Structure 1
Amino acid sequence: MPAPALFDASADTYDHDPHHLVIARLLVAGLQQAPEPDLVVDVATGTGFAAIAALETLAPRRVLAIDISPRMIEKAAAKTGRVEWRVAPAVPLDLPDGAADVVLCASALHLIGASALPEWRRVLRPGGQVAFSIPVAADFHPSPELAASLPTDLAVPADEAGAERIARAAGFESVRVTTTASPRRSFLVFAEVPA
């Protein structure tokens, strides 16, 4: 995974890219609505778009949002104090088994790697939901610096079937995949832990 400094450097302009807000809102809106989840976890929250969308849409008892970038968390925390913001790695998550109802990861799985998926499954309760996005391979053109730091255990998928395989390989079921068209193409993946 890229170093925190890389994300710290982009924190001040992160919100200028409308892609992040659009993806976060679509991920939350695409969940199978469960009334008032106990815990929603937003992994690699950036400046908090998905965490805030979950807070506003799902009415959870608690939202925990983590990111390895202290500057991203600082920017996110300035938006609301109703989320538990934490500087922490995406893997492992400092949560007990089966603690979460929902795990979100907007626009970051390709930066974290495949090891995130079994960790999400571990912290989700039976029947818990995951929603993540990942770029479309044909549209993903990282800078040389970013490309050098990407995980090698996860390929950016070329099609919806490839995005679905990512979730199924980690043991998730009821997998649904859609493709966004704007502002950049991404796959939105929704899945559940077996009940």
Structure 2
Amino acid sequence: MSLPAVFDATADAYDDDPHHRRIAELLVSGLQPAPTPDLVVDVATGTGFAALAASEVLTPRRVVAVDISPRMIEAAAANPGAEAIEWRVGPAVPLDLPDGAADVVVCASALHLLGAGAPPEWRRVLRPGGQVAFSIPVAADFSPSPAFAALLPADLPVPADEEGAARIATAAGFGSVRVTTTAPPRRSFLVFARVPA
């Protein structure tokens, strides 16, 4: 089974797990955009938690939310407030956006599914001074089933500490990196960074 098929199959129950909403809201609330963003991009949006939070909290002129799972996008588009967001079925790499188009990129609970090509792609679509906010599980708390682990990209190991999480951002050319760790039992690293101006 492919990752899109896995998430198509789990779309109806995805919102039952409060972890995804919590991580998305923490990422959006940790951003420091100024002034009002023209474009926020939510990569691997799932059922749209980060896109919806960004639309409400950041009040950008435009939100584009992308996911490879048609069922996830269908579920996201059924949420209250979803009409303000442009929902797209498509890959995370490459994004169908021009260079320097976005002010903010958010990726909640999905980088470990996307691989090492995703952060450089976020940097490409962000303008100078633009911000990224992403999460990734803490290695000690991440125990996928063997079948699911076989679907994950091998080029981006889940980090063991905040320094490892920060290196994901710096390796892609981001600066001003901040990392925090959520509370147990299911910890994630929250990484915030900027494209150098």
TM-score range, shorter chain: over 0.9
Q: Superposed, which structure 2 residues align to 1:100-111 within 5 Å? A: 100-111=102-113
Q: Structure 1 residues 24, 182: CA separation in 2 closer, same or farther (over 3 Å shift)?
A: farther
Give the secondary-structure state (helix, strand or coil) at the position aligned to 2:83.
coil
**Structure 2: unaligned runs, 5 residues or longer:** none
Point out the more displaced range, 176-185 or 88-97.
176-185
Q: Structure 1 residues 182, 16: CA separation in 2 closer, same or farther (over 3 Å shift)?
A: farther
Q: Aligned residues: percent identity? A: 79
Checking the alignment, whether the CA contact within 8 Å between 1:19 and 1:183 is kept in structure 2 is no
Structure 1 equivalent of residue 17 of structure 2: 17
Q: Structure 1 residues 20, 97: CA separation in 2 closer, same or farther (over 3 Å shift)?
A: same
Residue 3 (structure 1) shift:
2.5
Whole-Å separation in 2 of the counterparts to 1:3 and 1:13: 16
Structure 1 equivalent of residue 159 of structure 2: 157
The superposition leaves residues 131-152 of structure 1 with CA deviations (integer Å, 9 ceiling, x where unpaired) of 0000000000111121001101
Amino acid in the other structure paired with 1:56:
E
Q: Superposed, which structure 2 residues align to 1:42-191 within 5 Å? A: 42-79=42-79, 80-182=82-184, 184-191=186-193
Structure 1 equivalent of residue 39 of structure 2: 39
Give the secondary-structure state (helix, strand or coil) at the position aligned to 1:114.
coil
Whole-Å separation in 1 of the counterparts to 2:77 and 2:144: 28
- Give TM-score, length-normalised by structure 1: 0.98
RMSD between aligned residues = 0.9
Checking the alignment, whether the CA contact within 8 Å between 1:19 and 1:182 is kept in structure 2 is no
Amino acid in the other structure paired with 1:135:
P
Between Structure 1 and Structure 2, how many residues are aligned?
Answer: 194
**Structure 1: unaligned runs, 5 residues or longer:** none
Structure 1 equivalent of residue 6 of structure 2: 6
Amino acid in the other structure paired with 2:172:
A
Amino acid in the other structure paired with 2:134:
F
Give the secondary-structure state (helix, strand or coil) at the position aligned to 2:55.
helix
Checking the alignment, whether the CA contact within 8 Å between 2:141 and 2:185 is kept in structure 1 is no
The superposition leaves residues 56-84 of structure 1 with CA deviations (integer Å, 9 ceiling, x where unpaired) of 00000000000000000000000121100
Segments ≥4 residues shifted beyond 3 Å: none
Give the secondary-structure state (helix, strand or coil) at the position aligned to 2:121.
helix
Residue 33 (structure 1) shift:
3.0
Residue 182 (structure 1) shift:
5.0
Whole-Å separation in 2 of the counterparts to 1:32 and 1:78: 28
Residue 183 (structure 1) shift:
6.0
